[in-house]
Structure 1
Amino acid sequence: MARHKKNHTKRRHPSEGMKSAVAYTFASLFSKGLAFITVPIFTRIMSTSEMGTVNLYNSWQAMLTVVATLSLTYGGYMVALKEYQYERDQYESSVLTLTTFTAVIFFAVYSIAPDFWSRLLGLDKSLLVLMLVGFLLLPATEFWLARQRYEYKYKAATLVTIGSALLASAFSIYAVLYLQGSGKAAEGRLYANYIVLYAVAFVLWIYIMVRGRKFVSLRYWKFSLALSIPLIANQFATQILNNSGRVMIGWYVDNSAVGIYGTLSSVSTISAIIWSSINSSFVPFLYRNIDDPEGKKKVKDLSSILLLTYAVICVMITFLAPEVVRIIATNEYMAAIYIMPPISAAIFQNAISNMYANVLLYHKKSSYIMIASICGAILNIVLNIVLIPLFGYQAAAYSMLVAFIFLSYVQMHVSRKLHCSITHTNETVYDDRMIVLIQWVMIALSAVAIPLYDFIVIRYMAVCFLLVASLLLFRKSRSSM
């Protein structure tokens, strides 16, 4: 009876780790969801060209932040928090000094030829200054949030994440409405959004520096750079795969095309949030069972079920593209709904890559992930250079699809070869033939959606069938875990 009572008490009081994970997941989904929910507002109060400026700014910022922060805000930071368990304050202020130093270098390089950088990036000089300020301040927020997550201090972090997202969205909408028709709505939206984020980051920057009071430490810097520098190429290549299409559309077409492409691609990336949740749940299961003779079969079955479930979700979103676009955008965007199938298919290929990258990470072979990402990014750039001038901005979607298919096959081949070599077996982690079958059926169904956009009844029947199938697959995956 006492044991039952004790277990009941444990169930009623979840661990700090579990509460922290739930809180951070909710905060992340809330902020990403809020960004998507506000899209219908902005597409109705901003022109496609103004939307393009915002998309272009966000794309350049995502790519350049990796280099400007030396990738110090990524995975290596967590390792350092464990390594310097009793020196975290000092370590944190020291690496923040390092990112501040790199931000100052970026500002100096920009100051030499601001007109050149403005023409190259396709952004007004005022927006480039805004971006440079972000390189200086935003690492403080990233460092603080990462440490809060590491130490299971979720309350303040959740409040800051959700509060910042709400205020930034509210200020952005107000700024666009105030500047509507002035030609400065895009700049107003970006400044309003980032002023909120920078204000929070500035407070945290001061807090970290005052608490740590260790500004220069070659020991900390050497340790951090040894972990982060190998990640720069991988992170930069990943950002190129995700954002180079928008940047090159800006070069070869115009900002209006960037606005249309970026807005519609954001619809397709709804499924990426779903995959992030699926993958984060699958990874612990994979690592527990990858070397277990009885668990290997479960890994093969569950991985196929999860990918099949995700494929159904991606296809379902593709079939509903016309309705989704009518909700989030205006008629100006409807002519471009035909780029959603290849974008959705490309995002699914990335899920396959993640599956195989998980195996490489398990065997501590992350350098192979970096090499594959760089090759995929180069292929994407070359295809965009060739195809966008010939076929217009729609070609960027197909370039991304081809690049991600290439990446998925490289990851599959390398991960299979390394796993067999390390384990001295011919047994693969996943059912590769099934995954390839799911991959090409998904691509084919996405292509089928294009001619069916004019046939509402057929599409709705297909969506109902896919919905039932996804629910059945989800139940099966739950029972497998």
Structure 2
Amino acid sequence: MKKKNKSLVKNIGLFTIGSFGSKIISFLMVPLYTAVLSTSEYGTVDLMMSTVQLLIPILLLSIQDAILRFGMDDNFEKEDVISTSFNIILKAILFLFVGIIILKLFNFLNLSNDYLIFLFFSFVLNAINNCMNVYLKSKNKASIIVVSGILCTFITCLSNIILLLVFKMGVNGFMISNTIGIFIQVTYQLLVGKSYKDIHLLNYNNISKPMLNYSIPLISNSVAWWVNNVSDRYILTWIKGISANGIYSVAYKIPTILTTFQSVFFNAWSISAIAEFDSEDKDGFIGGNYTIYSFVSLGICSFLLLFNIPIASVLYSGKYFTAWKCVPFLLVGTVFNGIAQFEGSLYAAVKETKIVSLTTIIGSLINTVCNFLFIFLFGAIGAALSTTIGYCITWGLRTFFLQRFIRMKVYWKKHILAVSFLIAQSFLTIFNDFYMIQLVLFVFVILFSIPSKTLKKILGRLNIKI
């Protein structure tokens, strides 16, 4: 147990350094983006980035999901895993390149060449980056991932300051800056991480068959996650216009604070979940970490709900300020998303990828139906509410089916009560009223989600018996 925790804590420490450094810098850049870019410009670029997120799992056949699982399997050589993956990436890049040219020639794409060039290079670099991140995890080179992430953020922000403020390049400067940042990240991973030595395009043992048998069922999972997380932006644009999507996209910046904490733990946990899996959870390692992860997610979310408007007043300029109304539901959705991903890593450990896909698809279908209804009725707030419902359904189903494979030592009644208090708080936050009740609910969320051992220690020091 101590050895397991030591490895997990070490990786958490590394990812904490990287994530907080990167996210804080990115967070501070939000006022610049909202001041320089119009809502329609930000909305259009956001749709390009969202499209790339959809294309990656489809064109790569979700091979990035297989890299970590097979890279940590002693039955396979790591060089064969990454070489097989890179050959699939090259075919995907060629397919996209030809596809864009054909669609442009027949006028199926009503976009300027600037946006299409950004979409293509964004796909190429993000595809390589995603695969390199999980490959470096399998080689236990978390420090390379951390440093490359910090470099990417620093270069992106510095480039944005120069191109947006000095050269006044507007949306083109924004796209160029994002491309440069991730290019530096990929270059660092390949050269400093010495990953280029493991990649062979000709002489290697092709293990695409077992890897694709594992990853292909996850395509539907990735697409369904995309539907949950991104499709609302397309529907919102269709019903309410591109400017509404620009405002809605900015609303995600406050939930990014919570995502930062979650990603720190999840990046480390995704390694431990495979290496330390125990279906009986005899030492409580898995259940204990689920409880801690949930406590941190619920606690930070509840705290951010209390200070939603003050934070929004600092981050959002002019027309963007109304984005604060979308934040409460997006925060709660982020909690469900994070916990569902935690459980997804356990399914990966037992190679039950079909259930992962099924639960995500059901959640995304419900999300889509809710999007058409609620966006029509409530606009951007309806999109945020639909996202929360979709993630909640996915988490509930995964929790139910997970009992077949592992018996996590979790106090479920307390956990569900804490979640209920958080949902109630989010509804009150939408109305920007009942602050004292929100404060009480925050206390309840903490008390019902905090690990029992931790609570007993705190109360013990206060000489309070339970």
Give the TM-score taking structure 2 as reference length. 0.81
Q: Provide the aligned C-alpha RMSD in A.
A: 4.0
**Alignment-derived partner of residue 33 in structure 1:** 24
The answer to whether the 8 Å contact 2:62/2:219 transfers is: yes
The answer to whether the 8 Å contact 2:12/2:265 transfers is: no
CA 1:317 to 1:381, structure 2 compared with 1: closer, same or farther past 3 Å? same
CA 1:479 to 1:190, structure 2 compared with 1: closer, same or farther past 3 Å? farther
The answer to whether the 8 Å contact 2:255/2:331 transfers is: yes
Instruction: Map 1:1-400; keep pairs closer than 5 Å.
Output: 22-80=13-71, 82=73, 88=79, 92-114=82-104, 118-119=109-110, 124-153=112-141, 156-178=144-166, 180=168, 185-198=170-183, 201=186, 212-215=199-202, 219-278=206-265, 291=280, 295=283, 303=290, 307-354=294-341, 356-357=343-344, 360-400=347-387
What's the CA shift for 1:443?
0.6
The answer to whether the 8 Å contact 2:262/2:293 transfers is: no
d(CA) in 2 for partners of 1:363 and 1:129?
Answer: 40
Tell me if 1:476 matches 2:454.
Answer: yes
d(CA) in 1 for partners of 2:212 and 2:190?
Answer: 20
Structure 2 unaligned spans of 5+? 1-5, 459-466
**Alignment-derived partner of residue 464 in structure 2:** none
The answer to whether the 8 Å contact 2:58/2:223 transfers is: yes
d(CA) in 2 for partners of 1:145 and 1:303?
Answer: 23
d(CA) in 2 for partners of 1:255 and 1:378?
Answer: 23
CA 1:466 to 1:125, structure 2 compared with 1: closer, same or farther past 3 Å? farther
Give the aligned residue type for 2:177.
A
Q: Deviations over 1:219-258 (max 9, x none)?
A: 3333432232222221221122111122222222222211
d(CA) in 2 for partners of 1:264 and 1:385?
Answer: 19
CA 1:228 to 1:155, structure 2 compared with 1: closer, same or farther past 3 Å? same
What's the CA shift for 1:279?
5.2
The answer to whether the 8 Å contact 2:218/2:356 transfers is: no
CA 1:124 to 1:84, structure 2 compared with 1: closer, same or farther past 3 Å? farther
The answer to whether the 8 Å contact 1:81/1:147 transfers is: no
d(CA) in 1 for partners of 2:181 and 2:341?
Answer: 33
What's the CA shift for 1:335?
2.7
d(CA) in 1 for partners of 2:441 and 2:413?
Answer: 26
Structure 1 unaligned spans of 5+? 1-14
Give the aligned residue type for 2:419.
Q
d(CA) in 2 for partners of 1:411 and 1:264?
Answer: 27
Q: Deviations over 1:171-213 (max 9, x none)?
A: 1222222464xxx622320122203423654687798677644
Secondary structure in 1 matching 2:202? coil
What's the CA shift for 1:149?
3.5
d(CA) in 1 for partners of 2:314 and 2:157?
Answer: 19
Tell me if 1:404 matches 2:382.
Answer: no
Give the aligned residue type for 1:52.
G
Report the number of matched residues: 450
Q: Deviations over 1:361-394 (max 9, x none)?
A: 4544231111010111122122223332343222
What's the CA shift for 1:317?
0.6
d(CA) in 1 for partners of 2:200 and 2:296?
Answer: 50
d(CA) in 2 for partners of 1:354 and 1:474?
Answer: 23
d(CA) in 1 for partners of 2:421 and 2:69?
Answer: 39
What's the CA shift for 1:462?
5.7
The answer to whether the 8 Å contact 1:76/1:228 transfers is: no
Q: Pick the structure with greater CA Rg.
A: 1
Q: Deviations over 1:63-85 (max 9, x none)?
A: 22222322222343551464576
